[in-house]
A and B are shown apart, each in its own frame.
Chain A
């Protein structure tokens, strides 16, 4: 397995929301997408996306309904809400600001 990187704490909800903004998905699918898109660099315990999902749901940024997986298993399918989208925008811009700031500082040192 190639080199992996620990996820920055508190960023998992952002990832989840971002993925859901592409389309509805169940928990497993989200976990798979994170692995695929990060080309398995981001090391996420698959289970840890559930606390993120539950918290988002409790905060009203996503909601869930019953559905089936591609393989026909009963799963909970999550959908981003409009307040979730707004929240995503805010989070994304602050993330971008964070990354921008971080890289400016880091590049200069390097």
Chain B
């Protein structure tokens, strides 16, 4: 037979294997049957015939195998081994199942690390990438009035209405829109609901580049008194049952009919509260949009957004605004210092504050994953070392190095799949937990969605880490295995130990960094919360009430100085409402004090103004103060310290003397210290149009905008003499009797409100303490996440340290036995092991502290009342890590003292 037909035969055998196998079986069966039949015909019984036929045929199995081998096919029995890939895979599964502790350790370790990364990815995706549905977010900017004299967080003020008209004529702006918040009470099934709307100039939707999903939006040529409304998707679906025929319907807001002209898409929520520099009650996402009067009249303060034209549009617009400022100041020196405007791209604004935190946390989770991968790499190397005999046997039996690597990689692939699945589970669960424990006030977290992208992210990350932890040990091991068993022992032992030291050192470093930073954040949160706010929040309930301007015309911000200045002969509707309502409330047995204020501390920023003191040197520059409107009873309800004079009372009437209460830091502006009884006037010049007000009392400074800052000058005007700011929305402050919960106080307040006006909803009911807590939500979230991450990292270090020490004790048994045999005490051997572990822990710890020192300028920016390398915090963090590390090392290390030298050496 030549080689061609040989080949043909082989190919045929492979291709026709099943047919050949069947033929062989058939030949044998038929033969026996024929013989049986013949024997039956000769008169044998069925059983005898069968037995004899079989006997005469011979050994069926042996013959079958012989025929199969002649035919060149592999017998069926062998075929179950299948292809070598499947065989490897099965083998890997089996060997992993034989080492459940190892498999579980790897999967759990990586799952946790991947889960942490998934959570961070989702947070980043939700918080950083949210653009409120704006079409060209990179071209959209907000414009704010920048007043450098004001405190941090207050400098960015709304734009004065008179500037807005000038903006519309500026070069470099494609579209510009001005808006302010307006609350609308709506009666949904007889239950009053307050909606947060925007009154906006018509180009807002053009700035965003988004059209309504239903309807056409505002009609052309608006003047601003049209009663039309564009609804958000949320309001449309929750209050109007997603009625597809909503356009053209009349709906009642604040008791007035508005015609619905459009519904925006679901993701549209522009402008967000965060897009507006000075958020005096800007909603997080507007519920509805109604037209603002055009052209603007009066000093209405506006949030302003604009779409700039093309590349470099932002810089160009800033130049134009600077030129405008100069021109205005030249025209009217009264504007000096108040006419500066700044442009801020909305993308920067939205994520600017939180981005560093998220980037930092991302770095932390990245490090954790790296640590986890290193850890797993170490563990799998150790395990591999323990199996090196087995691998060497494989090599000796003819396995190629690639086959060994492939076998190991299979194991890793299986573990990686398990880890990715675990990571997704951990990530999903953590996201759920995070949503429930996360402090309020972090945008994007409440709707934290685990997206497809984050799934893909985790899968990629899992594969990557499998590659990291898998490839190196596999290649190294196959190298060792191919050297042969005996030489493997020593080399591998040393390599493992060295690798273990590195892994432990690196993990300890990462852990120290994370523990240290979360400790610092903890101190920051505690430090901020420990700050006396200047009032007593305990037992205080706060809520908001909005009075519609239609039925309470004096709730609107005064459109002219004259109106505000003239003493009204009749009491305003707002003032009357609060007088009746608060009096009712104070009579409730559970309530001790009740008042109204706008804005409330920790809940929005104020209007700022220059202030002129009577008798001040006419050449001096007027100080800037922040303005608060408060009712009688507010100071008592909030628990401010009265330092001198009196607070507001019934004598501060609409037709009485114009009065003011000032904060301590304002009182200090009077050179002779005699503030009470002196007069002040808003505006930067003594002969300005505003009225003179007599100071009747001095109260302590409060922390207003945030917990870190105190002592901003604050002037209080009585609610009865309001008119500078919009009084539409006021904050109720109700102090209950001792032991009265916020819920009871809220019920009392609701009851009283219903008595006065049943159509008004009570909104944002909360304890004053919660409002304070919200101030530290950012720090708290970062702290919570970091605390979780550092615990994870600490746990990983413990695992790794334990396995490294335990491996070293096991592999050096003989050495320890000899040492003890020649006279070393068990204690000194133990000390040796501990010192070796301690060395890598120490170097790791030191590295961690150095990293924090190196990053301290960055970290310091997030801290309050604590330095990045605060001795106490560093000591606690380092001690914690070292203590835990010592335990992790000691538990396996103690085994060296139990080595019986005689026993051990005899066995060896």
Contact = CB atoms under 8 A, between A and B. Distances in A.
Interface stretch (A12-20, A72-80, A86-94): A72-80
A48 interface: yes
A98 to B, nearest CB: 25
Given A47-B57, A58-B70, 19 more contacts: A31-B31, A45-B56, A47-B60, A47-B63, A48-B58, A50-B31, A50-B67, A51-B63, A51-B67, A54-B67, A55-B70, A58-B9, A69-B30, A73-B30, A74-B26, A75-B34, A76-B23, A76-B26, A76-B27
Contacts of B37: 71
A56 to B, nearest CB: 10
Contact of A27 (B1, B27, B38, B56): B27
The 10 closest A-B pairs by CB, nearest first: A45-B58, A47-B58, A28-B34, A47-B57, A54-B70, A47-B63, A28-B31, A46-B57, A46-B56, A51-B66
Contacts, number: 59
A59 interface: yes
B31 A46 contact: yes
Contacts of B9: 58
A46 B27 CA distance: 12
9 contacts: A46-B35, A47-B60, A47-B63, A51-B63, A69-B30, A73-B33, A75-B27, A75-B30, A75-B34
A79 B37 CA distance: 24
Interface in B38-70: 38, 56-60, 63, 66-67, 70
B28 interface: yes
Contacts of A31: 31
A1 B9 CA distance: 43
Contacts of A69: 30, 34
A28 B56 contact: no
Given A28-B34, A58-B70, A59-B1, A50 B56 contact: no
Contacts of A47: 28, 31, 57-60, 63
> Which of B26, B28, B66 has most chain A Cβ within 10 Å?
B66
Nearest to A60: B1
User: In this complex, which of A59, A60, A74, A75 has the most chain B Cβ atoms within 10 angstroms of its Cβ?
Assistant: A75
B33, B34, B35: most-surrounded residue (chain A CB, <10 A)? B34
A50 B26 CA distance: 12
A69 B29 CA distance: 13
Interface in B16-34: 23, 26-28, 30-31, 33-34
B20 to A, nearest CB: 10
B63 A71 contact: no
Interface of A: 27-28, 31-32, 45-48, 50-51, 54-55, 58-60, 69, 71, 73-76
B71 interface: yes
Nearest to B66: A51
A interface, over-half SS:
helix
Contacts of B35: 28, 46
A46, A55, A59, A76, most chain B CB atoms within 10 A: A46
Contacts of B60: 47
A28 B27 CA distance: 9
Interface string B125-152: 0000000000000000000000000000
A50 B58 CA distance: 11
Contacts of B1: 58-60
Nearest to A35: B56
Nearest to B38: A32
Contacts of A55: 70
A54 B33 contact: no
Interface string B70-84: 110000000000000
Contact of A50 (B27, B33, B38, B59): B27
A67 to B, nearest CB: 11
Contact of A71 (B27, B34, B67): B34
Interface centre among A27, A28, A51 (most CB of B within 10 A): A28
Contacts of B57: 45-47
Contacts of A60: 1
B30 A74 contact: yes
Nearest to B5: A60
A73 B63 contact: no
Nearest to A45: B58
A44 to B, nearest CB: 9
A33 B23 CA distance: 23
Contacts of B58: 45-48
A58 B734 CA distance: 105
Contacts of A45: 56-58
Nearest to B68: A54
A70 to B, nearest CB: 9
Contacts of B23: 76
Contacts of A75: 27, 30, 34
A54 B33 CA distance: 20
A89 B582 CA distance: 130
Contacts of A46: 31, 35, 56-58
Among B27, B58, B59, B67, chain A packs the most CB atoms within 10 A around the CB of: B27
Nearest to A59: B1
B34 A73 contact: yes
Nearest to B34: A28
Name which of A31, A50, A59 has the most chain B CB atoms within 10 A of its CB. A50
A51 B70 contact: yes
A1 to B, nearest CB: 12
Of B28, B31, B63, the most chain A CB neighbours within 10 A belong to: B31
Contacts of A54: 67, 70-71
A60 B5 CA distance: 11
A74 B27 CA distance: 9
Nearest to A70: B34
Contacts of A74: 26, 30
Nearest to B9: A58
A32 B9 CA distance: 30
A51 B71 CA distance: 10
